[in-house]
């Protein structure tokens, strides 16, 4: 469900915190939408990456993935597990700092529908991307949105070049890449310098959700931090290792960090601004 840009509750400050040298931006969705909007209006560049338990674990094993997350202007808190880890380490955090992509992307579409911003969706199966585009256009007739499926050879120079050229012809403000993690981050890392866009947002299965193929987790389940269990029950074979082994490994790392002598929690506040280039 989209979140209103004009949040009537008390404004929470945006800040950055570090866990095991991973830099995570704690920002609410209304504030993040304002940052994205400002970046587009100023003609600057920004990558809005995300940290959940899976991406945190991947960053421990893939040096390039760690570099990608660290170089992003924003690496938002996308998972309940990350939020709980920082709370366990002693940081008092509101649940509103969880900037889930499944809420962020629909909120972006809703809040920017009446402004002159354009979107490009990259990822998913050919029939799903078309369904997602159709649904968005029906819901937001004035919104400019194009897309391309993600079923092309990521290692083929000519196929990648064709996709990049298509994106640049459209010249969208916001590029949403949904190829699954870490494939989407790898593609962005390799092609970011070629893309004529303002904001790049890796988004996992969000395109499938926009198409109505993957149902949203019930809010009551998500609010208690059990979305992972909901997804595991729906796709046990694909997600068992990620959630059962991955969650345990992450919890163990956090527990060891808390009880080590080098577990100090570093927090800093600074303005988030876009860059001149990717």
Q: Which pLDDT tens digits describe the chain residue by residue (278 residues)? A: 566 555 545 689 999 999 999 999 999 999 999 999 999 999 999 999 999 999 999 999 999 999 999 999 999 999 999 999 999 999 999 999 999 999 999 999 999 998 999 999 999 999 999 999 999 999 999 999 999 999 999 999 999 999 999 999 999 999 999 999 999 999 999 999 999 999 999 999 999 999 999 888 888 888 888 888 888 898 899 989 989 999 999 999 999 988 886 556 778 877 787 888 88
Name beta bridge partners: 176. 121, 201
Helix (H, G, I), strand (E, B) or coil at 230: helix
d(CA 254, CA 200): 29
Identify the residue whose tokens are 């996992």: 204
Global confidence as pTM = 0.93
60 in helix, strand or coil?
helix
Are 174 and 197 a contacting pair, CB within 8 Å? Answer: yes
pLDDT of residue 2: 67
Residue-level pLDDT at 224: 85
């Amino acid at each position: 469900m989209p979140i209103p840009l004009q949040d009537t509750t008390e404004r929470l400050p945006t800040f950055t915190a570090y866990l095991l040298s991973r830099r995570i931006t704690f920002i609410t969705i209304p504030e993040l939408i304002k940052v994205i909007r400002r970046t587009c209006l100023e003609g600057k560049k920004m990558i809005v990456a995300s940290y959940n338990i899976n991406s945190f674990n991947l960053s421990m094993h893939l040096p390039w993935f760690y570099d990608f997350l660290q170089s992003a202007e924003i690496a938002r808190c996308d998972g309940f597990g990350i939020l709980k880890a920082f709370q366990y380490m002693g940081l008092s955090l509101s649940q509103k700092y969880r900037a889930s992509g499944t809420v962020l992307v629909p909120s972006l579409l809703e809040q920017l529908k009446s402004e002159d911003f354009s979107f490009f969706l990259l990822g998913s199966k050919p029939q799903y991307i078309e369904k997602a585009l159709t649904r968005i256009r029906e819901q937001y007739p004035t919104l400019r949105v194009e897309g391309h499926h993600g079923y092309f050879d990521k290692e083929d120079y000519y196929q990648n070049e064709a996709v990049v050229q298509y994106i640049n012809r459209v010249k969208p403000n916001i590029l949403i890449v949904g190829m699954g993690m870490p494939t989407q981050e790898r593609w962005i890392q390799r092609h970011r310098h070629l893309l004529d866009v303002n904001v790049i947002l890796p988004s996992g299965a969000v395109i499938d959700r926009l198409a109505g193929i993957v149902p949203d987790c019930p809010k009551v389940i998500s609010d208690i931090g059990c979305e992972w269990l909901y997804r595991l029950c729906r796709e046990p074979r694909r997600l068992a290792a990620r959630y059962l082994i991955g969650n345990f490994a992450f919890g163990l790392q956090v527990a060891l960090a808390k009880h080590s002598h080098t577990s100090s929690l570093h927090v800093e506040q600074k303005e988030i601004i876009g860059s001149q280039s990717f």
